[in-house]
Structures are given as structure tokens and as C-alpha cells.
Amino acid sequence: MSAQTFTFPEGFTWGTATASFQVEGAAHEDGRTDSIWDTFCAVPGNISDGSNGDVACDEYHRYSEDIDLMKELGVGAYRMSIAWPRIVPQLGGPVNQAGIDHYLRVLDDLREAGIKPVVTLYHWDLPQYLQDAGGWANRDTAKRFADYAGALAKAFDDRVDTWTTLNEPWCAAYLGYGSGGHAPGIKDHAQALAAVHHLNLAHGLGVQAVRAELGQEAKMSVTLNLQMTRAASDSAEDQAAKARADLFANEVFLGPMVEGRYDPAIFEASQGVTDWSFNRPGDEAIIGQPLDVLGINYYAPTYVRANPAVSGADNAMPAQDGVEGLPPKGELTDMDWAQEPEGLRDLLTELSARFPSLPLMVTENGSAWQDEVSADPEAPSFTGGKIVHDPKRVAYLDAHVRAVADAIEAGAQVTGYFAWSLLDNFEWALGYSKRFGIIRVDYQTQERIWKDSGLRFRQIARANAI
């Protein structure tokens, strides 16, 4: 880490990110029907603190106030997602105008604030009626996604700066259908691979649908949580274990989406799990639509080594027999994730070397820590004199923004960085117990309270430098 100031390229985008189910609440308002996460939350034991998304950060009603916070932060972009069950509440039913109108208000307020919307169409809140028909294991879901994407393009028109089809299909497929730790809670590697393929297909069809409405100029992206997998040693066995993990963590998405083809090693390695007959002729070409930017979510690296005694049965990913995940090292965040900013630097540098014409954007990065609110008369007046001192989140933020700077210096083409998250929010199977916000939410009162990390991000974003 250098102590010198690094100025980011002109036009570099600083933003904050959230996702509909994690912040909106208003679960039963304006015609919204259940998503798979509403169903999943209703089963005792699925969410560690027994909570759900019924209220969350009440963003559905408080977006104006939160856009004011973003103005104070000085960010140029907001990465948000659309709740599919607000837009198409019934199977095959009409588009719900009340849902559309809500997002039009948000998008218009953002425009007025000079904040560019980076809109994710799918951040895991699949309509429950589609899960009832098989969810992502069913090919029809990809087709439904394209219809939904086209309807949004038509309704939002030029209000969206960047369209992101999917957030982290890795999680949607492998946690949703592989380990069952996320909604819909299915544990079946064959379904997980079908889900991978149908998510990929949904992405390709979705890009086509948006461009069919808005033309080739529509800026299209997808967000992947590519795993920065490191092998425990240089031994051929450990390197093979890493290659096996990479195949299913990264290549299964990058191959078709960026290169228009699956690495045949994937088919071979998953023999006995599935025969991939769901991959029909022509699918790979549909999936490989040209992209304007690739979104990367990064939190921590994973370490693996070869261990023939390890069964892959409980791995979220398929075909991981003999691949042992190693425990994270160093000071862990509240998620029990390691802190390794070099992982972000290396990931960006390697991706840019491999895909030199594809700009990258860090669409999520952040850390969870328990926070405490202090009274602080020295705090800037807009904080109202209450502040959270969160030195660990500040240090994580600084180190990771530095890592992005290092990647850019090493030649990576990175066009933006989004802090996860604007607000503390519903952290999926961990409920409200983990706080990722750079602004705190008091869930009793819905009060927003500045954290030092928010102030630090404000400094970075305003200076375009670290």
C-alpha cells in the first residue's frame, strides 16, 4: 500500500448499492405478491434471527430521504434492483402499473439529484409462482425473465444509465439450489446446474429484450461474484483442485456470457450430476451477447487444497469431490470472511488482461461489523451529532479502494466502485444480525445514522482520490 494520493481517472463512478428485497419492505403493498424469499423467511430456522423482509429499511417509502443521503455522500450513481413480483405479480398476468410507477418516481428523483441509476433486474427475489413451476431449474423462467426485462425497458426508457441483468447467479444457483442455504432452499446439484444454465440463458435473452426496446446503445451488464480462488500450494494436486473450483465458480458463467461458449471441461467434470441436455443448440450464442461492462462483487478470497478424502456432497457447487476449502485466516469480519484486498486487485488485473476490451466495475464491496452509536459534538452538522465510529469498516474500505487504484495502475480497466451497502439491511439467511451499511439503520425508528465509513466514502467520492 502506498501512502501517496492516487487520483482516479476522470469520469470514474462512485456509488452505493442496495437490493430490493434487502431494503424495500412494503412487502404487501401496491399489488406486490410473494417472492421466494418471503416464502423462505416464513419457514422457522431458515433465517438466523427469525426475521423477514416485510419492513426492512422501509426504503419503499423512504427513498427520497435516502437519495438526500446519497447527495450528501457525493456519489454519482446508485445501484438498486427491481422487485420482479411488484412488476409482474401473477403468472402470465399484466404488468402492474403501481409497481412501475413506484420505480419511475425513484428513477426521476435520482435524475433530479444527478445520480445515475445502475439497475439490476434480478437480485434474487423470484416471484413465488415461478418457483411453483420449477424456478430456475425450469427453462420457462428464462423466457419469463426476458418478458419482464422487455417490459421494464419499455417503461423506464432512457431513465436507466446501466442495465444489469442478474446479480450473482452463483448465489442464486448454488446457494438456492445446491446448498439450500438461500431461497428456494433446494439441495440438489443437478437442479443447481440447470439453474446455472437457465440463469445464463435469462441473461442473454434479457440483454436481447432490453436492446430490442431501446436499441444497441442501451448499456448492458451483469454482476458476477467471481471467486478469487487461491491454491494452498503449487503442487499439481492443489492446482488441479483450484482449477476444478474455478470451473464451476467462474468459468461456467464467464465462458458463455463473455466468450459465447462453455468450456467442455465443465461437461466432463459434471458427468454423473447431469447430462446438460438443458443446454440446447443455439443457447450459448444467445448467452454470449456483447456487454458494455462487467460488474464484479468482491468480499474475500477462497483457499482450496486437494484432499481425496473430502466429499463434495455438501459443497454448494457440484463436482467438488476432493476439493477442500480451507478456513479463512487473519482477522475475520462478522461474516467470518477474511480480509484480503490483494484478492480484489488480482481479480481485476487478471480479468482485464483476459478481456482487454471489457470494462470492469466493482458493483459491491464492503464488510460487516457490529457497530455502536456515539454522541459526538465534533461530528459534521449533517450527522445531527450522532455517529458510529467504525474503524474496521473504514480500514476495509480504504484498503479495498487502494486495491482498485493498484489494479488501475497495473493496467486494469475499472470504471467504478460501489460500496455495499448504502444502508444496513436484510442480510439474507443472516437477517438483520449483520451490518454492512456505511450508514446505520436503527430498525426500531428507521433513523439513519452516519458512520465514519460513510464520512470516509464521502471524502473519497468527492475527491475522486484516495
Residues labelled as active-site residues: 168, 364
- Closer Cβ to ligand PNW, 206 or 288, answer by number: 206
Is 168 among the residues that bind ligand PNW (CB under 6 A)? yes
- Closer Cβ to ligand PNW, 168 or 346, answer by number: 168
- Candidates 57, 83, 171, 408; binder of ligand PNW (CB under 6 A) is 171
| C-alpha dihedral sign at 77, 78, 81, 82 | negative
CA distances from 251 to 175, 224, 254 (A): 17, 11, 5
Alpha-helical (H) ranges within 182-299 are 189-214, 236-246, 252-254, 264-269, 283-287
Choices 55-63, 143-151, 252-260, 420-428; region in contact with ligand PNW by CB under 6 A: 420-428
Is 441 among the residues that bind ligand PNW (CB under 6 A)? no
Is 406 among the residues that bind ligand PNW (CB under 6 A)? no
Choices 62-70, 166-174, 237-245, 449-457; region in contact with ligand PNW by CB under 6 A: 166-174
Count CB atoms within 10 A of the CB of residue 12.
18
Binding-site size for ligand PNW (CB under 6 A) equals 12
- Closer Cβ to ligand PNW, 76 or 295, answer by number: 295
Site string for ligand PNW, 182-221 (x = CB under 6 A): ----------------------------------------
How much of the chain is in helix, strand and coil states, percent to nearest 5? 45, 15, 40
Count CB atoms within 10 A of the CB of residue 307.
16
- Candidates 35, 131, 165, 225; binder of ligand PNW (CB under 6 A) is 225
Minimum Å gap between C-beta 22 and ligand PNW is 6
The single-letter code of the amino acid at 175 is L
- Candidates 167, 191, 221, 352; binder of ligand PNW (CB under 6 A) is 167
Is 439 among the residues that bind ligand PNW (CB under 6 A)? no
Count CB atoms within 10 A of the CB of residue 265.
13
Is 364 among the residues that bind ligand PNW (CB under 6 A)? yes
CA distances from 52 to 21, 24, 177, 191, 257 (A): 9, 11, 20, 26, 33
| C-alpha dihedral sign at 15, 20, 23, 26 | positive
Q: Give the closest residue to 349 by CA, choosing from 228, 196, 211, 434.
A: 228
Site residues (vs ligand PNW, CB under 6 A):
19, 22, 167-168, 171, 225, 297, 364, 420, 427-428, 436
